[in-house]
């Protein structure tokens, strides 16, 4: 008996999976809050506090944009991959005729959609509420968003391999997410940050992403002036892709 998916275009199957991912995302209020709305609450809360201080607002917008990229990709995918793996969902998906590329294409497209929505809201909010104009360098913005999404999505999938069970996911993810955000924000915002802290922040992917987004959203410095930042993000992305593919498991953890 022929399978219902036989002969169906993998792109069409990817679109179906994407639509399913969108429905599941909005039907999970906690995921929608922590992975989508929380960075926006930080934006409007900090924006209200810094109202009237244009210098700090110019730093706030790209910082929140960078955090949004990390939240909607690294954090969301680490949570989702561990949950699906430990509940046996990935194993069941592996046993279906759904092509692997169609499944992960739908998952990735969902994360990209959340990122694009957040960045669009941040850009509009910066223009309407915080005295920041439209992005002076849209090309640089697109480049850094694409590289940033690929980098943090790959790192999220790779990091999921290190999480032994779903109950410990929050602890593992926050142990990475919160320190990286703190160090990167502090080093980017404060000229008095210690040298060793700046070195650490420069070596991590979030601060270079924020610097690239700052050039695209605020200063219009141009892509050529942020190639070092792009290289750091690209190296982390290559690292993440290698371990995401090498360590990926469809099976539940035995620990």
- What is the pTM for the complete model shown? 0.89
What is the structure's pLDDT at 151? 96
Q: Which candidate, 143, 137, 139, 134, places its Cα nearest to that of 221?
A: 137
Is 5 part of any domain? no
Q: How confident is the model at residue 45 (pLDDT cuts 50, 70, 90)?
A: confident
Is 252 part of any domain? no
d(CA 201, CA 5): 47
Number of folded domains that form the chain: 1
Is 255 part of any domain? no
What is the structure's pLDDT at 40? 79
Q: How confident is the model at residue 1 (pLDDT cuts 50, 70, 90)?
A: very low
Is 172 part of any domain? yes
Which long-range contacts link 42-47 to residues 24+ away (Cβ below 8 Å)?
42/67, 43/122, 43/125, 44/125, 44/129, 47/125, 47/129, 47/130
Across the range 194-208, mean pLDDT stands at: 93
Is 29 part of any domain? yes
Q: How confident is the model at residue 6 (pLDDT cuts 50, 70, 90)?
A: low
What is the structure's pLDDT at 157? 93
Is 3 part of any domain? no
Q: How far is CA 32 from CA 51, 73, 179, 194, 224, in A?
A: 27, 13, 22, 36, 36
d(CA 120, CA 98): 32
Q: What percent of the chain has pLDDT over 90?
A: 42
Is 183 part of any domain? yes
pLDDT digits (tens, 9 = 90+) for 106-160: 988 988 898 998 899 899 988 888 888 899 989 999 999 999 999 999 999 999 9
Is 1 part of any domain? no
Q: Which domain holds residue 40?
A: 10-246
What is the structure's pLDDT at 154? 94
On the question of pLDDT at 64 being above 90, the answer is yes
User: Is the Cα torsion angle 80, 83, 84, 85 positive or negative in sign?
Assistant: positive
């Amino acid at each position: 008996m022929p399978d219902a998916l036989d002969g169906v275009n993998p792109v069409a199957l990817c679109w179906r999976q994407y639509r399913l991912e969108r429905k599941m995302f909005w039907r999970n209020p906690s995921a929608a809050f922590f992975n989508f709305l929380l960075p926006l609450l930080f934006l409007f809360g900090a924006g209200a506090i810094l109202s009237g201080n244009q210098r700090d607002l110019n730093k706030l917008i790209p910082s929140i944009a960078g955090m949004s990229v990390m939240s909607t990709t690294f954090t969301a995918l680490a949570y989702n991959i561990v949950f699906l793996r430990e509940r046996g969902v990935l194993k069941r998906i592996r046993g279906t005729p759904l092509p692997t590329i169609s499944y992960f294409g739908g998952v990735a497209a969902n994360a990209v959609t959340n990122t694009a929505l957040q960045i669009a809201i941040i850009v509009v909010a910066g223009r309407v509420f915080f005295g920041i104009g439209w992005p002076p360098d849209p090309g640089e913005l697109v480049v850094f968003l694409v590289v940033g999404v690929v980098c943090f999505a790959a790192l999220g999938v790779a990091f999921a391999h290190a999480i032994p069970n779903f109950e410990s996911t929050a602890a593992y993810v926050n142990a990475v997410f919160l320190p990286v955000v703190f160090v990167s924000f502090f080093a980017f915002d404060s000229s008095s940050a210690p040298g060793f802290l700046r070195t650490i922040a420069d070596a991590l992917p979030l601060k270079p992403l924020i610097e690239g987004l700052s050039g695209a959203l605020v200063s219009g410095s141009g892509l050529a002036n942020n190639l070092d930042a792009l290289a750091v993000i690209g190296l982390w992305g290559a690292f993440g892709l290698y371990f995401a593919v090498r360590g990926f498991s469809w099976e539940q953890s035995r620990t």
